[in-house]
Amino acid sequence: MGSVRWAFRCGSWTPSRSEWLFAARCVQREEKDRIGQFVFAKDAKSAMAGRLLLRKFVCERMGIPWSQVRLERSPRGKPCLVATSSEPSWSFNISHQGDYAVLAAQQGAQVGVDVMKTTMPGSSSIPEFFRIMTRQFTAHEWSTIQSAGSEHRQLAAFYRHWVSTATILPFTGLTQRDGRLFSLTLTGNFQSCHLCACADVCVCVPPQESLLDADHHVAVALGPADKAVSAWKKRLMSFLCLPSQPLPPPATFTPLSFGELIASASPLSEEDPAYWDSFSMKAEAPQRQRDEVLT
């Protein structure tokens, strides 16, 4: 069963005029317009990287020419390929937060991915931040988080739980607010977690997590292929506890350069100089985020 794990560090990408205009020519018009509406350059770069990751994957691994790739969004907002003549055996998903955009793809299974950066809460102390977020996790999960040691270690444990929970949700029909309906037990080696659930949770294996760097947590979960979802949901309506058996290490995320990101790209439209003018006027990020970088 094939798998792809790619990561692009968009936080350190400072696109030149030619890079940004070429990237804009290589995505669909509606994608380009949506990306252009972001207020901050950081968000625009993350969104652009995400769309280029998707198109690169579909072109290089699914064998569909770049100019023929048509992406849309499912009712839940997940990127999907417009129906092709043959049913694709691949599932793919992207996430972008902090300094990274990531893509995970899998053959023969649905896939969920999430990435989060360990950042200090805005105007709250860590204990106050945890109090506000109480409903997001079970008592067992909070016990694990708050026993991690220093406040920074507790915050890192919080984000470990957050990304692992987020990868499961696409298979459940739940939202992050419903995450307390199931409980995760994370191992200490950043390789896997065990899942106990009293909800309609539809996963093949527990999420597998790893670190992209010291501050960025990434997790991937696999679910049954679409046709099997109904059957899985019926079986998992009752209490489910997946066995605590060893799992293989998670697939390593391969870092891509901008050159690798656009290696297979071909323009879909004419160059639009005004698109660079608009982008170059954007602030990189909100003031609070810029202050965090400086400190």
What does the alpha-carbon distance between residue 87 and residue 158 come to, in Å, rounded to a whole number?
A: 38
To the nearest whole number, what is the mean pLDDT of the chain? 80
What is the rounded CA–CA span in Å between residue 198 and residue 170? 17
Q: Measured between alpha carbons, how far is 139 from 136 in angstroms, rounded to an integer?
A: 10
* Residue ranges in the chain whose pLDDT is less than 50: 179, 189-204, 227-246, 290-291, 293-295
3-state secondary structure the chain: CCEEEEEECHHHCCCCHHHHHHHHHCCCHHHHHHHHCCCCHHHHHHHHHHHHHHHHHHHHHCCCCHHHCCEEECCCCCEEECCCCCCCCEEEEEEEECCEEEEEEEECCEEEEEEEECCCCCCCCHHHHHHHCHHHCCHHHHHHHHCCCCHHHHHHHHHHHHHHHHHHHHHCCCCHHHHHHEEEEECCCCCCEEEEECCCCCCCEEEEEEECCCCEEEEEEEECCHHHHHHHHHHCCCCEECCCCCCCCCCCCEEECHHHHCCCCCCCCCCCHHHHHHHHCCCCCCHHHHHHHHC
User: What does the angle CA 159 – CA 161 – CA 163 come to, to the nearest 5 degrees?
Assistant: 70
Q: What angle do CA 84, 89, 91 make, to 5 degrees?
A: 95
CB count in 10 Å sphere of residue 48? 29
pTM more than 0.85? no
- Separation CA 69–CA 73 (nearest Å): 13
State residue 178's pLDDT score. 53
**Residue 234 pLDDT:** 41
What integer pLDDT is reported at residue 86 of this predicted model?
52
- For 3-294, give the CATH class: alpha beta
Q: How many Å apart are CA 170 and CA 73, to the nearest integer?
A: 13
Residue linked to tokens 């069963």: 1
**pLDDT tens digits along 207-260:** 788 899 999 999 998 877 654 444 444 443 333 334 444 455 666 899 999 999
Does the CA dihedral 147-148-149-152 come out positive or negative?
negative
> So what's the pLDDT on residue 284?
94
pLDDT value, residue 204: 46
Domain boundaries, the chain: 3-294
